[in-house]
Structure 1
Amino acid sequence: MQALMFFMGVGTLVVGLCYSLKTSSAHDIQQAALLPFADDPEAANKITQSTGMTFDKIVNGIELDLTAVPNDSTDSFVA
């Protein structure tokens, strides 16, 4: 019984992975691979120069200004 459940789980995982990859275009998969470099323009330029792959969108990171967030006593976290 446990072996049957295991193989059903593995089968579901394989079918889901195949469906996910089949519905994604090559361009989408390429952009997902480039995503870790999208927030660093210097690294994005190096990747583009060395591989020729281009980024659809380069994300500019911003610093969060915590002073602009209102202090609500219900949103407290004690470690």
Structure 2
Amino acid sequence: MIEVFFDGLGVVFLWLAVEYCLRRETAESLDEASMVPFADDPEVARRVELATGKSVKAVAPEVVKSGWINLDM
């Protein structure tokens, strides 16, 4: 019986923690955050815009500068 109490207490604590972390977020900021994974690839960003009708603030991929080396770590 005590396990059920602690399980319920854990669920309530998790719910309160998520509510606390998201307290300042708006629907617009959460919607924009959901589009972030598509922002670094302009081709995918365009397809997502066509499919969802939502605009994706795409960022141009980093261009290699002459004399510089891009390292993947």
C-alpha separation between the residues in 2 aligned to 1:59 and 1:7?
A: 47
- How does 1:1-79 map onto structure 2 within 5 Å? 1-58=2-59, 60=61, 64-65=70-71
Q: 1:39·1:60 contact (CA, 8 Å) conserved in 2?
A: yes
TM-score, normalised by the number of residues in structure 1: 0.60
> If the length of structure 2 is used for normalisation, what is the TM-score?
0.63
Summarize deviations over 1:13-71 as a string: whole Å, max 9, x none.
112223344421111111221122112110101112332211235262578426xxxxx
Structure 1: runs of 5+ lacking an equivalent: 67-79
The answer (yes or no) to whether the contact 1:40–1:60 under 8 Å persists in 2 is yes
Q: Runs (4+) of structure 1 moved beyond 6 Å? A: none
State how many pairs are aligned: 66
Structure 2 gap segments, 5+ residues each: 64-68
The CA RMSD measured in Å over matched residues stands at 2.6
